[in-house]
Amino acid sequence: MHTRPPLFTPARKRGARRTAALALCTALLAAGCGSSQDTARNGKATASRAAGFPVTIDNCGVKTTYDKPPSRVVTIHQHPAELMLSLGLKDRMVGTAFPDSAVLPGLAKDYASLPELAKKEPSFETVLDKEPDLVYGGYGSAFDEKEGRSRKAFRDAGIDTHLNREYCGKKRVTMDDTYAEIRTVGKIFGVSDRADRLVSDLKARVDKAAKTVADEPDVPVFVYDSGDKTAFTAGGKSLGTELIRLAGGKNVFADLDDVFGDVSWEQVVERKPEVIAIYDYAGAGSIEQKKEFLLAQPALKDVPAIRNKRFVVLPLTATLVGVRSAYAVGDLARGIHPKSFG
């Protein structure tokens, strides 16, 4: 693993570059470096770029004041990257990490052009190598203190941080959190107009799917994330529960007082789900493996969803606070109420 020399930080590196630039400018002053006309032009550009700033954001109890929009951002986890790309902020991104499912087709080209820093969470040193002014994390593990990536460690290195609001606490997560996260990111980057347009588009997408199945009876749905001895599933505090509700279903474990949790297979049998939503992500087995496992369990043979082989596949990123969740409502609705969509 590459490590930087002791006490070598992005802030110092940028400071050294500024010092060198000033020295060069002084030496070339007679040649016209930094003319009054250029200074005026640059000043106007800076003022334009920083309109509406400073901006102070309280994120998971960490208050950050942005004097100008961040310009060198590292995203850790896929859903923050997709959110930024959806806001047209590719030019502000210098790296991303931890892809865990297929990217939205409309974002795939831009996502593929971003430097991938690691298959999982990158090391603190790897992130610093990109000289970011902001690190945007999707899961709480983005800022794992044990791995040396705490928010304090980044702050001490002169780097701001932002954590997806889904991981600020164990409150129930809803689509309103998705819309609020988009608007917050829009505010940080000075593109609130884009954020408002994106939220309107996503709301329209959700409303269209929800209205299509509004008159259909709720269908019991079991979320299978992973597990063999027990089933790891989405609980009542997860965004997945609301996505299922909007799509004309009911999470059979909505009474589980957590975002995720383990349940017994006996409980799954008792609740008789008619549809199984399988979460798809890297490192947890393929979708076919998961289906084969579920279909091969003798205890589940009389479960309606197993008997009728009714599965809906969702990328894990589509069940998180980010742009994918709005698309997930339509995908779920088609799987739960296929006849409503012709």
pLDDT of 10 above 90: no
Cα–Cα–Cα angle for 131, 135, 141, rounded to 5 degrees: 130
Using the predicted structure, report yes or no on whether residue 2 has a pLDDT greater than 50. no
Average pLDDT, the chain: 88
Question: Which amino acid, residue 339?
Answer: K
Q: Is residue 26 part of a domain?
A: no
Q: Based on the domain organization, do 254 and 324 belong to the same domain?
A: yes
- Rg over alpha carbons for the chain, rounded to the nearest Å, is 24
Domain that holds residue 313: 217-341
Same domain, 239 and 148: no
List CB contacts of 180: < 8 A, sequence separation 6 or more: 165
**What mean pLDDT comes out for the span 127-151?**
97
Give the domain-ending residue among 122, 146, 163. 163
Q: Check if the beta carbon of residue 240 is closer than 8 Å to that of residue 251.
A: yes
Asked whether residue 169 is domain-assigned, the answer is no
Residue 36 lies in a domain: no
- 28 inside domain: no
Count CA atoms closer than 13 A to 312's CA, side-chain side: 30
Per-residue pLDDT band at 13 (split at 50, 70, 90): very low
Residue 305 pLDDT > 80: yes
Peptide bond into 54 cis (omega under 30): yes
Average of per-residue pLDDT across 94-104: 93
Contact present, 66 and 188 (Cβ < 8 Å): yes
Final residue of a structural domain among 163, 189, 209: 163
Q: What are 48's two structure tokens? A: 């334009």
Domain assignment present for 317: yes
CA distance 125 to 74: 13
pLDDT in tens, 46-60: 444 568 899 999 999
Shared domain check, 230 and 147: no
Determine the average pLDDT of the residues in 215-233.
Answer: 97
Strands 275-280 and 249-251: unpaired
Tell me whether strands 231-234 and 260-263 are parallel, antiparallel or unpaired.
antiparallel
Confidence tier at 102 by pLDDT (50, 70, 90): confident
pLDDT, tens only, 157-207: 999 999 999 998 878 999 999 999 999 999 999 999 999 999 999 999 999
Do 331 and 235 share a domain, yes or no?
Answer: yes
Question: Based on the structure, what is the number of domains in the chain?
Answer: 2
Q: What residues does 37 pair with on adjacent strands?
A: none
* CATH label of the domain that carries residue 111: 3.40.50.1980
Whether residues 159 and 222 share a domain: the answer is no
Q: Which two tokens stand for residue 190?
A: 């000075």
β-partners of residue 118 are none
Please check whether residues 153 and 237 belong to one and the same domain: no
Label residue 26 by pLDDT band (50, 70, 90): very low
Q: Is 137 strand, coil or helix?
A: strand
> Among 26-35, 50-59, 268-277, where is mean pLDDT lowest?
26-35
- The answer to whether the Cα torsion of 143, 149, 154, 159 is positive or negative is negative
**Residue of higher predicted confidence among 45 and 78:** 78
80, 145: one domain: yes
Q: How far apart are CA 324 and CA 332, in angstroms?
A: 12
- Residue 101: pLDDT band (50, 70, 90) is confident
User: Which position has the token pair 């806001």?
Assistant: 87
Are 155 and 63 part of one and the same domain? yes
For residue 203, is it within any domain?
no
What tokens were used for 224? 């299978």
pLDDT tier at 37, thresholds 50, 70, 90: very low
- pLDDT score, position 35: 42
Q: Which pLDDT score, from 0 to 100, does residue 23 have? A: 41
Instruction: Judge whether 138 lies within some domain.
Output: yes
All residues at 6 or more sequence positions from 126 whose CB lies less than 8 Å from its CB, including other chains = 1, 2, 117, 118
Pick the closest to residue 2 from 148, 118, 131, 129 (CA basis).
Answer: 129
The confidence score (pLDDT) of residue 21 equals: 41
Burial 296-334 (b: 16+ CB within 10 A, else e): eeeebeebebbeeebbbebbbbbbbbbbbbbbbbbbbbb
pLDDT at 8: 28
Mean pLDDT of 100-122: 95
Beta strands 249-251; 219-224: pairing state? parallel
What residues does 261 pair with on adjacent strands?
Answer: 233
Strands 231-234 and 249-251, by their bridges, are unpaired
Looking at the fold, whether 154 and 223 belong to one and the same domain comes out as no
Answer whether residue 228 is part of any domain: yes
Last residue of a domain, one of 98, 130, 163: 163
Residue 286 has a CB neighbour count (10 Å cut-off) of 10
Contact 164, 320 (CB under 8 A): yes
User: Do 124 and 224 lie in a common domain?
Assistant: no
Contact between 277 and 239 (Cβ < 8 Å): no
The answer on pLDDT for 149 being more than 90 is yes
The CA distance from 12 to 41, in Å, is: 28
